[in-house]
Amino acid sequence: MHETFYDVMRRQGITRRSFLKYCSLAAGALGLSPAFAPQIAHAMENKPRIPVLWLHGLECTCCSESFIRSAHPLAKDVILSMISLDYDNVIMAAAGEAAQAIIEETIEKYDGNFILAVEGNAPLGEDGMYCITAGKPFVDELTRVSQHAKAIISWGSCASWGCVQAARPNPTRATPTHKIPGIADKPIIKVPGCPPISEVMTAVITYMLTFEKLPELDNQGRPKMFYSQRIHDKCYRRGHFDAGQFVEKFDDEGAKKGYCLYKVGCKGPTTYNACSTIRWNGGLSFPIQAGHPCIGCSEDGFWDKGGFYERLSDIKGFGIEANADEIGKTAALIVGGAVAVHAGASVIKRIASKGDDA
Amino acid sequence: MAIIETPNGFNLDDSGRRIVVDPVTRIEGHMRCEVNLDEDNFIRNAVSTGTMWRGLEVILKDRDPRDAWAFVQRICGVCTGTHALTSVRAVEDALNIDIPENANSIRNIMQLSLQVHDHLVHFYHLHALDWVNPVNALKADPRATSELQQKVSPSHAKSSPGYFRDIQTRIRRFIESGQLGPFKNGYWTNPAYLLPPEADLMALTHYLEALDFQKEIMTVRTIFGGKDTHPNWLVGGVPCAIDMDSPGAPINMERLNYVRSITERTIQFVKNVYVPDVIAIGGFYKSWLYGGGLASQNVMSYGDIPDRANDYSTENLMMPRGAIINGNLDEVHEIDLRDPDEIQEFVPHSWYKYPDGAKGLHPWDGITEAQYELGPNLIGTKTNIERIDEGGKYSWIKAPRWKGHAMEVGPLARYIIGYAKGDEYITDQINSTLRALDVPLPALFSTLGRTAARALESQWAAEKQLYFLDKLIANIKNGDSSTANTEKFDPSTWPSEIKGMGFTEAPRGALGHWIKIKDTKIENYQCVVPTTWNGSPRDAEGNIGAFEASLLDTKVEVPEEPVEILRTLHSFDPCLACSTHVMSPDGEELANVKVR
């Protein structure tokens, strides 16, 4: 017998009324109108838990760590009541042969009906032996499991883009999921970020369970609901940018007043993520709010796009008019020294004069 | 091989049945372990292999040293931040930058909250299932569980029979659904599990409570660092400016109140849940005192948590520093991380090569060149390892040694050193724990001792977090709101060739980064991390490392279900992404990268 989310809540003494209230809150958390609450309720009441195989390649486990920090829903409720996390080598009780047997069993029992979640990526160098599982290359396991999955979630910037181990000169030939030779032709949902925001991770799962479909993706494969606007577009310090009020160096008067961090290197203008809307750790803060420039950790190749304290310049579509797909294809040009100062200064001048006009 | 005795005093016999555990799960990263059992199922030979490698040190070459913290922070997302802190300290050491007192307090609060978080998550979510049987918890009487809870920790509010009944019902429905999730294929009928059902239910309940609570602990770091996992750091201080009267300052009264609230709740959770659970579970397992290994011989800690800013002397570090050799607790040796003759890394059994293969190298002079080759007695192929040959190269981990000695690092090492030095707080904690369990001092040198030290240290760390919050507020009250020294932030002010080193005590143990900077770019970056110490393969002399030593002479009840191996390996909280991040070139253009 399958246990549904609703069963669990009922058995814990939660009334139907409270359950429906939960569903409205869940709709709100997903940015949906309360009209969607009945749909969520229906999903919660009727669905068995979908099996998830969460494989780890070369990574640092920051995605898993982020996942367990989810405030709504709690990681506990995702694991006990929404999905069946049958394989995840970070938390699973089983080890060695007993662990590997789960992969075979899942493929046999749920062929085409489980989700493959990938954290980290596979190195192709040294015949794949820079990442070994059960004595064999991780890449072999990944490609094999992918053939039997319903869909693939690429958690974080490692699985989505390659991230730090793929930064120049990428010594292990670390390769993101969608570029692995032999990976199955299955839908791949990229959830980039180093790590992704906790509540974004759980929302992607909840969305799929609730609406029985993949979230709408942009042309790079990211859920539009979280990755189609720049951090800059919704930044609470945007007013200071527009007014030409900047932090010139850390801990100066501008820093204490919460001015814009653009001049100390903020990558918010070229970074597509939900940090300035959803924020982090239950909506508590995000890097810019705590005084550090955005380093652009959800962008492809962000490690190789210049120093984190060098300011962006010559950005096409610097305003709010360009869409995500256009900007995503345009690598921001980052330069140092006098050119940057000049370019930066002219941008500021333009903005300052715009401010005067207003 | 017949029986051989290693120079560090362990007998190895590889003639018996070989057991392989791969993957070792509930760790960070990828690891394999092989052991030989004798006729009575005692482990007589142990081989631990790091099975991943990423190459961050070469990726760092020619980068801006001010950015290095972000790269090395991604060595590990579990001990998130500790590499970043080590990195900014190394760069500040090279540039002679003094950081403001407030930055020191904030960094300490962040580092201490990591200690607590990492230890708590380790115990409940990575380690507990080696001791706690969730299936057995279904047999518990909720009323008796409630009585047990009130006896073990009278101050913990969640202790009613109804509360335990609800949790048990939820777990029952979960297990009866047939979809066991993370509990699937555990060794739940193994006689090595010794807890009565009530203790299993209590511990499992706290597994869930801790999963809910751990996310609160880290919000402290979101306040100061903007996000967690992977908060932000800054060479010269911290990025979060303080102004108690500005509407836009990252840190104001509300934020400090938030930190206080979380810190106080953290102290309560550790005191009322974590420490009592470890002592209660320890009580049922106190006849299982395997796993000591190097702990009773050689342990080391670099020390951490400077009380005053910029003073990294032993006296100013609140976490103990020093080394103990051959189990002589009467003498704690000073350590010098800059001395080329003290810390050296060896590679005869690692997948790297040196020009002079047997010689060890200090991190400032380290060479990192890959050589993935397997020993002649391997069973299997290069891409299908069935039985590793520990006589040849067998791990992506190097073998660091201190003055030639294999050392154990980590919470137990720190606690042994603190005890040997007569640290009052640590000594009291150890003595009261030994009394509570009614075991003698040598019981400390064990798998259980390692697990207990981690819990005790969490209590210490949570309380010190409050100490530094008070210190931060007192300093602000005295008129100092400075958080960053930016005098040397501009690289044009830097000398052309400099070098530095930074150290911390990561949750898993001693961590050091060594950096050389040339013409404002990184010329060389080397990290020697806790799991490199603990998980090291053999060195040129044949000394075995802490993981391998700790497994020897342990009885495995059911060879097909080696929960005892997991129990002891987990007690170190292995972090393989940390230990095997070091660079090895992949063929062509990097074939001979020499990192001097």
ipTM, 2 decimals? 0.95
Percent of chain A at pLDDT exceeding 90 = 73
In terms of CA atoms, which chain A residue is nearest residue B215? A69
pLDDT value at A237 more than 90: yes
Tokens standing for residue B98: 């003094």
| B299 lies within 8 A of chain A by CB | no
Of the candidates A85, A91, A135, the beta carbon closest to that of B26 is on A91
Cα of B128 to nearest chain A Cα, Å: 9
Tokens 């044949």 belong to B542
pLDDT value at A273 more than 80: yes
pLDDT value at A346 more than 60: no
Q: Which of residues 21-80 of B touch A (CB under 8 A)?
A: 21-30, 32, 51-56, 58-59, 63-64, 66-67, 70-71, 74-78, 80
Rounded CA separation B501/B513 (Å): 6
Q: Do B71 and A309 touch (CB under 8 A)?
A: no
Over residues A45-62, the mean pLDDT reads 90
Long-range contacts of the stretch B472-481 (C-beta < 8 A, 24+): B472/B102, B472/B105, B472/B106, B472/B109, B472/B256, B473/B256, B475/B101, B475/B102, B475/B105, B476/B102, B476/B242, B476/B244, B480/B100, B480/B101, B480/B102, B481/A256, B481/B102, B481/B241, B481/B242, B481/B243, B481/B244
| Residue of A109, A95, A105 lying closest to B186 (CA atoms) | A95
Q: How many CB atoms lie within 10 A of CB B6?
A: 18
Sign of the torsion formed by the C-alpha atoms of B105, B110, B115 and B120:
positive
Amino acid B595: pLDDT: 28
pLDDT value at A333 more than 90: no
pLDDT value at A328 more than 50: no
Asked whether the beta carbons of A129 and A167 are under 8 A apart, the reply is no
Q: Do A69 and B80 touch (CB under 8 A)?
A: no
Q: Do B181 and A80 touch (CB under 8 A)?
A: yes
Of the candidates B55, B76, B484, the beta carbon closest to that of A165 is on B55
Over residues A238-264, the mean pLDDT reads 97
Asked whether the beta carbons of A8 and A14 are under 8 A apart, the reply is no
Rounded CA separation A96/B24 (Å): 6
pLDDT value at A334 more than 50: no
Q: Do A91 and B177 touch (CB under 8 A)?
A: no
pLDDT value at A319 more than 50: no
For residue B204, what pLDDT band results from cuts at 50, 70 and 90? very high
Q: Give the 3-state DSSP-derived string for B331-354, with helices as H, strands as E and coil as C.
A: CCECCCCCCCCCEEEECCCECECC
Cα of B71 to nearest chain A Cα, Å: 7
| A141 lies within 8 A of chain B by CB | no
Sign of the torsion formed by the C-alpha atoms of A122, A126, A127 and A132:
negative
Asked if the peptide bond before residue B161 counts as cis, ω within 30 degrees of 0, the response is no
Over residues B455-466, the mean pLDDT reads 98
Cα of B156 to nearest chain A Cα, Å: 21
Q: How many CB atoms lie within 10 A of CB A317?
A: 14
Per-residue pLDDT of B150-188, as tens digits, reads 999 999 999 999 999 999 999 999 999 999 999 999 999
| B116 lies within 8 A of chain A by CB | no
Q: 3-state class of A308 per DSSP?
A: coil
Per-residue pLDDT of B32-86, as tens digits, reads 999 999 999 999 999 999 999 998 888 999 999 999 999 999 999 999 999 999 9
Q: 3-state class of B560 per DSSP?
A: coil
Tokens 């003759």 belong to B341
What rounded mean pLDDT belongs to chain A?
85
For residue B594, what pLDDT band results from cuts at 50, 70 and 90? very low
Rounded CA separation A289/B226 (Å): 6
CB contact burial B134-149 (16+ within 10 A = b; e otherwise) = bbbbbebbbebbbebb
Over residues B395-410, the mean pLDDT reads 97
Per-residue pLDDT of A57-80, as tens digits, reads 999 999 999 999 999 999 999 999
Rounded CA separation A160/A169 (Å): 18
pLDDT value at A47 more than 80: no
Q: 3-state class of B307 per DSSP?
A: coil
Amino acid A12: pLDDT: 54
Mutate to test the interface with A, among B48, B74, B123 (most CBs of A within 10 A): B74
Over residues A324-349, the mean pLDDT reads 36
Asked whether the beta carbons of B82 and A314 are under 8 A apart, the reply is no
Residues of chain B contacting residue A1, judged by C-beta atoms under 8 Å apart = 176-178
For chain B, list the domains and their CATH numbers.
2-129+213-579 (1.10.645.10)
Calculate the alpha carbon distances from B560 to A12, A252, A323, B188, B288 in Å.
Answer: 37, 62, 57, 13, 20
Tokens standing for residue B293: 């290994």
Amino acid B308: pLDDT: 98
- Angle, vertex CA B527, rays to CA A67 and CA B66, nearest 5: 75
Amino acid A352: pLDDT: 38
**Partners of B512 in the β-ladder:** B503, B528
Rounded CA separation B433/B439 (Å): 9
Residues of chain A contacting residue B370, judged by C-beta atoms under 8 Å apart = 126
**DSSP string spanning A139-184?**
HHHHHHHHHH-SEEEEEHHHHHT-TGGGSTT-TT-EE-GGGSTT--
Sign of the torsion formed by the C-alpha atoms of B486, B488, B493 and B494:
negative
What does DSSP say about strands B343-346 and B399-402: parallel, antiparallel, or unpaired? antiparallel
Per-residue pLDDT of B73-108, as tens digits, reads 999 999 999 999 999 999 999 999 999 999 999 999
Rounded CA separation B440/B436 (Å): 11
More confident residue, B592 or B475: B475
Asked whether the beta carbons of A131 and A122 are under 8 A apart, the reply is yes
Of the candidates A172, A250, A259, the beta carbon closest to that of B484 is on A250
| A80 lies within 8 A of chain B by CB | yes
Over residues B515-544, the mean pLDDT reads 95
Amino acid A322: pLDDT: 43
Amino acid A330: pLDDT: 37
Residue B251 gets which letter from DSSP? B
A204 Cβ contact list (under 8 Å, min separation 6): A153, A189, A191, A215, A223, A226
Q: Do B185 and A94 touch (CB under 8 A)?
A: yes
| Residue of B567, B596, B582 lying closest to B529 (CA atoms) | B582
Amino acid A160: pLDDT: 98
Over residues A312-317, the mean pLDDT reads 59
| A343 lies within 8 A of chain B by CB | no
| B487 lies within 8 A of chain A by CB | no
| Residue of A236, A189, A195, A194 lying closest to A208 (CA atoms) | A189
Per-residue pLDDT of A82-115, as tens digits, reads 999 999 999 999 999 999 999 999 999 999 999 9
Residues of chain A contacting residue B208, judged by C-beta atoms under 8 Å apart = 76
**Partners of B395 in the β-ladder:** B350
Rounded CA separation B452/A330 (Å): 53
Q: Do A251 and B486 touch (CB under 8 A)?
A: yes
Residues of chain A contacting residue B77, judged by C-beta atoms under 8 Å apart = 59-66, 195
Cα of A56 to nearest chain B Cα, Å: 8
Over residues A7-23, the mean pLDDT reads 65
B234 Cβ contact list (under 8 Å, min separation 6): A250, A292, B88, B484
Amino acid found at B61? K
For residue B589, what pLDDT band results from cuts at 50, 70 and 90? very low
What Rg do the C-alpha atoms of chain B give, in angstroms?
A: 24
Residues of chain B contacting residue A127, judged by C-beta atoms under 8 Å apart = 382-383
B153 Cβ contact list (under 8 Å, min separation 6): B159, B272, B273, B276, B277
Q: Do A65 and B77 touch (CB under 8 A)?
A: yes
Q: Do B383 and A137 touch (CB under 8 A)?
A: yes
Mutate to test the interface with A, among B24, B35, B52 (most CBs of A within 10 A): B52
Amino acid A11: pLDDT: 56
**Partners of B251 in the β-ladder:** B242
Helical spans, DSSP H, in B407-545: 411-420, 424-437, 447-477, 530-534
Percent of chain B at pLDDT exceeding 90 = 92
Return the H-helix or E-strand segment holding A66: helix A62-67
| B507 lies within 8 A of chain A by CB | no
What rounded mean pLDDT belongs to chain B?
95
More confident residue, B96 or A2: B96
Per-residue pLDDT of B307-358, as tens digits, reads 999 999 999 999 999 999 999 999 999 999 999 999 999 999 999 988 888 8
**DSSP string spanning A254-305?**
HHHHT-B-GGGT--GGG-BSSTTTT-BTTTTB-TTTTT-----TTSTTGGGS
Mutate to test the interface with A, among B189, B227, B258 (most CBs of A within 10 A): B227
Q: Which of residues 14-33 of A touch B (CB under 8 A)?
A: none
In terms of CA atoms, which chain A residue is nearest residue B565? A95
Q: Do B226 and A13 touch (CB under 8 A)?
A: no
Tokens standing for residue B323: 């080394």
Q: Do A171 and B59 touch (CB under 8 A)?
A: yes
Cα of A302 to nearest chain B Cα, Å: 11
Q: Do B56 and A164 touch (CB under 8 A)?
A: yes
Amino acid A35: pLDDT: 72
Rounded CA separation B501/B381 (Å): 40
Over residues A337-357, the mean pLDDT reads 37
Q: Which of A33-37, A54-58, A337-341 has the highest mean pLDDT?
A: A54-58
Asked whether the beta carbons of B363 and B402 are under 8 A apart, the reply is no
Q: What is the pTM of this model?
A: 0.91
pLDDT value at A316 more than 70: no
Cα of A29 to nearest chain B Cα, Å: 18
Rounded CA separation A148/A231 (Å): 36
| B184 lies within 8 A of chain A by CB | yes
Tokens standing for residue B116: 């607590």
Residues of chain B contacting residue A280, judged by C-beta atoms under 8 Å apart = 222, 226-228
Return the H-helix or E-strand segment holding B34: strand B31-37
Q: Give the 3-state DSSP-derived string for A77-138, with helices as H, strands as E and coil as C.
A: HHHHHHEEEEEECCCCCCCHHHHHHHHHHHHHHCCCCCEEEEECEEECHHHHCCEEECCEEH
Of the candidates B52, B182, B249, the beta carbon closest to that of A58 is on B52
Long-range contacts of the stretch B427-436 (C-beta < 8 A, 24+): B429/B456, B429/B459, B429/B460, B430/B456, B433/B279, B436/B279, B436/B283
For residue A20, what pLDDT band results from cuts at 50, 70 and 90? confident
- Angle, vertex CA A292, rays to CA A289 and CA A294, nearest 5: 90
Residues of chain A contacting residue B32, judged by C-beta atoms under 8 Å apart = 132, 135
Burial (0-12, 13-18, 19+ Cβ within 10 Å), B506: buried
